[in-house]
Structure formats: structure tokens, C-alpha cells
């Protein structure tokens, strides 16, 4: 029996683990498929106060800190949650192992929203990618497209500009109104980044006769763009599929704290009505942990 099980090993989950461990609560972090989630893929982390390394380095530091206070971190994925006896919960993982706990902190984060056009699924892993830091190396000195216009898209474009020959950002609006000014300035200063506004893709196909796996991206105006790879950064959806349908979610799949049953708390990108940033993830991880600790102490009396 655990006092608290934390689902997710990103900044929110690991912050919660640090607090719960320091409160001498028997704590398990079920870290999912990838330690750190999206944060682990950030090559250079600039906007988290007090940190100048990569996202993965931050996550490894936070994991070690959580473990130093007694929290266990295991790379297991929750499949579903059921009610146990006397107000407890039973979490079943992807391999049908069961874990009983008095409280749960939901910090499973979000995943990139998929591009739903013809060819996007067919060419996933064969030219279409959702992770620039993972797959950028394969496009050294080639031409790539970045789909999107927010901070993630511009960060991906800047990362790829140091690897690829040419980067074209395809965005459906007339300007990057959602992206930070410093990123817009950096993109404008890069000679090998081209911005294509007021444009959307409708299909992806292989280029006939190409021996190098080139793709043809066709726009909604029937213009064709030849490229070697396409990186998609069009937003995120919360990872909450393991929860029952009676738990209310917003249109992004995120959770409102007030809609959760007693003993269940939420933190990070899966939390509704917060900005999806590492700093806010850490803050909500702290809050969720302190609320869980208070809940456990109250019910132990």
C-alpha cells in the first residue's frame, strides 16, 4: 500500500515526488514510457529560472533529488484506475500489475497533437516527425518543413536550422502572434529559415522517382512543396485516456481539480486553465503534493 502514487515523470510529477518524499510519505512515481516527457526533448532550456542545461539534464537532476528523499521512480504506464477498499485506489499498469494507494497525483502531461491529413500517418517515421530533437540529425543538410506557429514550432525551426540546409515554417495565419518576441527575432535573423504564412497542408506523398525519399507536401491552394522531412508542432492534447469517462475533461483532455474525486490531485500540463510551461508545472506539482499530504494527514487522524 502506497501513501501516494504519482503518474508522470515530468517536472510536475518529480516536484510532487520531492515534496511527498520529504514528508515521509511512501511514494511511487509511475514514469510512463519516457522519463521526463516533453521536457526531456528540450536541447537548450532557457526559460526555467536557475537552469542553463538541457531539459533531460534537469529531469535527471530532479529524479535524483526525489529518490534521495525516498521516492521510487519506475518506468511503468498506468492503464486504468479503479476504486479500492476504504477510499483507496487501485492502479493497473500496462502489464496488468496492480498497485494500491491512498492518494493519486495525476501528472501525465500532454502529447503532440497529430496532423490529420492524407499521408501524415503513412509517412510517420518515414519523413514525418513530432520531435525535432529526436529526429533532426537524420535531415542534415536537407530541406525540412515545420508545421505550426507557436513557441514549440519556432524552437523546432531554430534547432533544425543548425542541422538542415533549409527550414520552411508553414503557418496557417498571417504572423506568429502566439510565439514569444525573442523567438520571432531569432527566426527572422536565421538566413536559412523561410516563413510561409496563410498556408495549410492538405496532403503528404512521396515524390515520384526520388531515390532519397523526398516528399511532396501539397497545400490547400494546390501548391506543391518538395522537402525531405516534415516536423509537426501544432499543439498538444492531455494524456488522460486511462481515466474513466465520468471524470470531466476540457476540449484538450485536461482536468479541473474541483472535478476530481477525493484523494485524487492534478499537476502539470494535464491541469486545466494554466499555461503549459515548466515553471507552472513545477508550481502545480508543489501544490498537488501539499494538498495530497494534507489529505493523507487528515485521514490518518
CA 49/CA 61 separation, integer angstroms: 15
The question of whether 195 is a catalytic residue gets the answer: no
Among 20, 93, 131, 156, the active-site one is 131
Among 134, 162, 241, 250, the active-site one is 134
Residue pair 190/165 in contact by the 8 Å Cβ criterion: no
What H or E segment, with its residue span, contains residue 142?
A: none
Beta-carbon count within 10 A of 188 CB: 10
The question of whether 227 is a catalytic residue gets the answer: no
Between the alpha carbon of residue 8 and those of residues 105, 118, 129, 213, 267, the distances in Å are: 9, 32, 23, 36, 10
Residue ranges with strand state E in 130-286: 143-147, 166-170, 193-196, 201-206, 215-219, 224-227, 229-232, 236-238, 264-266
Among 93, 135, 286, 291, the active-site one is 135
Of 273, 274, 280, 255, residue with least CA distance to 265: 255
Supply the DSSP symbol for 92: E
| Catalytic positions, written as ranges | 131, 134-135
Amino acid at each position: 500500500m502506497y501513501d501516494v502514487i504519482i503518474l508522470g515523470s515530468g517536472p510536475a510529477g518529480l516536484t510532487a515526488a520531492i515534496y511527498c518524499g520529504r514528508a515521509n510519505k511512501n511514494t511511487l512515481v509511475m514514469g510512463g514510457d519516457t522519463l521526463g516527457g516533453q521536457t526531456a526533448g528540450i536541447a537548450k532550456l532557457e526559460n526555467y529560472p536557475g537552469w542553463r542545461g538541457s531539459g533531460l539534464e534537469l529531469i535527471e537532476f530532479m529524479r535524483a533529488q526525489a529518490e534521495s528523499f525516498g521516492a521510487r521512480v519506475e518506468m511503468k504506464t498506468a492503464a486504468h484506475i479503479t476504486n479500492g477498499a476504504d477510499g483507496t485506489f487501485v492502479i493497473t499498469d500496462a502489464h496488468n500489475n496492480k498497485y494500491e494507494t491512498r492518494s493519486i497525483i495525476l501528472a501525465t502531461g500532454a502529447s503532440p497533437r497529430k496532423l490529420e491529413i492524407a499521408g501524415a500517418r503513412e509517412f510517420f517515421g518515414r519523413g514525418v516527425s513530432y520531435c525535432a530533437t529526436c529526429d533532426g540529425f537524420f535531415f542534415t543538410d536537407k530541406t525540412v518543413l515545420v508545421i505550426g506557429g507557436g513557441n514549440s514550432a519556432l524552437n523546432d525551426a531554430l534547432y533544425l536550422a543548425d542541422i538542415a540546409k533549409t527550414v520552411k515554417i508553414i503557418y496557417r495565419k498571417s504572423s506568429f502572434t502566439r510565439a514569444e518576441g525573442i523567438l520571432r527575432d531569432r527566426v527572422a535573423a536565421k538566413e536559412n529559415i523561410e516563413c510561409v504564412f496563410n498556408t495549410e497542408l492538405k496532403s503528404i506523398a512521396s515524390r515520384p522517382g526520388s531515390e532519397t525519399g523526398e516528399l511532396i507536401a501539397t497545400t490547400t491552394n494546390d501548391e506543391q512543396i518538395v522537402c525531405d522531412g516534415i516536423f509537426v508542432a501544432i499543439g498538444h492534447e492531455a494524456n488522460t485516456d486511462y481515466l474513466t469517462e465520468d471524470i470531466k475533461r476540457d476540449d484538450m483532455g485536461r482536468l479541473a481539480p474541483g472535478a476530481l474525486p477525493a484523494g485524487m490531485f492534478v499537476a502539470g500540463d494535464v491541469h486545466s486553465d494554466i499555461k503549459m510551461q515548466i515553471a507552472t508545472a513545477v508550481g502545480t506539482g508543489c501544490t498537488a503534493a501539499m494538498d495530497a499530504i494534507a489529505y493523507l494527514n487528515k485521514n490518518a487522524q
